[in-house]
Amino acid sequence: MSKGEHKMLTCRIGFTDGHRSPTQHHHKRKATTRLLRSLHFNRCRFADAALHQYLSLFAHLTHVDLGNNRTISDHGLCESLSHLCLLTSLNVESTQATDDTLRIIAASLQGLQFLNMFYCRCISDVGVGHLQLLSHLQHLDLRWCVDVTSDGLHMIASSLHHLQHLDVSNCPNVTDAGVEHLVTSSSLSSTIRYLGLSECKLISSYGLNRVASLSQLQSLQIAGPTNVTDSVFAHLLGTLQHLTQLDIGSCESITTAGLSSAALLLADRPLLNLTKLDLGWWQQLTDEGLGSIVSFCPNLVALHLPYCENLTDDGIARIASLHDLQLL
């Protein structure tokens, strides 16, 4: 490496003994401590003290993955993360993170752009409120944070003006009011590119229709809710022309007749940007319905059809017109 040259290093560590001191190897890595930017500790078995000792060696980290570490306590997360002021990406999915963890994260890591809190079931609106300090946040994953409600979405919409990716799938207390907060935000209505609302069963047809106001949306996940009706489906597809990915698996309220109507509506303006479509567990999907979908999604690269039990060979034959299809 030439003088003055900087190189970003990444370290991935698999299963480890959390009680073994990392300083045993530190004398071999003095230069690395200055260069290392990314640490991946997913599914490791760290104890609080060992994690704190290890992370304290690397003050210049920008990316840390602590996902699926159930042995680290909330206190351990707070203590270990509080000094990583250069961090821009943090994954703490399926950990013991709490609202207090988010308080420390928001106070200490104000340059954070990516935060994954998937399946952190001790997170509530109180914790989400702390995130209002993270003005640079672009990616926020709150899937299965079951105590997050529409009030939490209100705080997100009013403060996180650069957010592009938001996933609150399987948050059972998110309602139409939460969607309304998102679509009426002057900033999010133009910046949000990815929205996950799968299995948010309190969102009605009205709330789902309001999603169409997010005109720049590129990826929409609405699998599961029974409120995705024929009219909602047609309205969303007729409006969200920038969509590249759509997940409508298990949407049993969409009928074959509704798909035919959507095909007529989109005959002159098919979804040319849509390349990935998930229809999994849609047990009412028929051969005719699949044919309608193929007609207005001509550029699909990936089409997922697991457990679509009513499809026959005739339905699969209709896929032959998808010349760009690579994954089925």
Nearest to 236 by CA among 274, 186, 199: 274
Q: What pLDDT, on the 0 to 100 scale, is given for residue 203? A: 97
Q: Which three-class secondary structure state does DSSP give residue 129?
A: helix
Q: What pLDDT, on the 0 to 100 scale, is given for residue 30? A: 56
DSSP of 261-295, one letter per residue? HHHHHTTTS--TT--EEE-TT-TT--HHHHHHHHH
Q: What is the total count of domains within the chain?
A: 2
Q: What pLDDT, on the 0 to 100 scale, is given for residue 20? A: 47
DSSP of 20-40, one letter per residue? S-GGGTGGG-HHHHHHEEEEE
Domain that holds residue 72: 7-148
Q: What is the CATH number of the domain that holds 18?
A: 3.80.10.10
Domain ends where: 82, 113, 148?
148
User: Are 134 and 237 part of one and the same domain?
Assistant: no
Please determine, for residue 46, whether its predicted confidence score (pLDDT) is greater than 90.
Answer: no
Domain ends where: 118, 148, 178?
148
Q: What pLDDT, on the 0 to 100 scale, is given for residue 223? A: 95
Q: What pLDDT, on the 0 to 100 scale, is given for residue 34? A: 74
As a whole number of angstroms, the distance between CA 241 and CA 217 comes to 9
User: Are 140 and 233 part of one and the same domain?
Assistant: no
Please determine, for residue 242, whether its predicted confidence score (pLDDT) is greater than 60.
Answer: yes
Nearest to 145 by CA among 164, 181, 169, 129: 169
What count of residues does the chain have? Answer: 328
User: Are 14 and 142 part of one and the same domain?
Assistant: yes
Domain ends where: 148, 166, 194?
148
The residue with tokens 């699909």 is: 300
Residue range 157-166: average pLDDT?
A: 97
User: Are 138 and 30 part of one and the same domain?
Assistant: yes
Looking at the domain assignment, is residue 176 inside a domain? no
User: Are 247 and 138 part of one and the same domain?
Assistant: no
User: Are 121 and 250 part of one and the same domain?
Assistant: no
Looking at the domain assignment, is residue 49 inside a domain? yes
As a whole number of angstroms, the distance between CA 93 and CA 85 comes to 20
User: Are 141 and 233 part of one and the same domain?
Assistant: no
Q: Which pLDDT band holds residue 99 (cuts at 50, 70, 90)?
A: very high
Looking at the domain assignment, is residue 219 inside a domain? no
Looking at the domain assignment, is residue 241 inside a domain? yes
Strands 89-91 and 139-141: what pairing?
A: unpaired
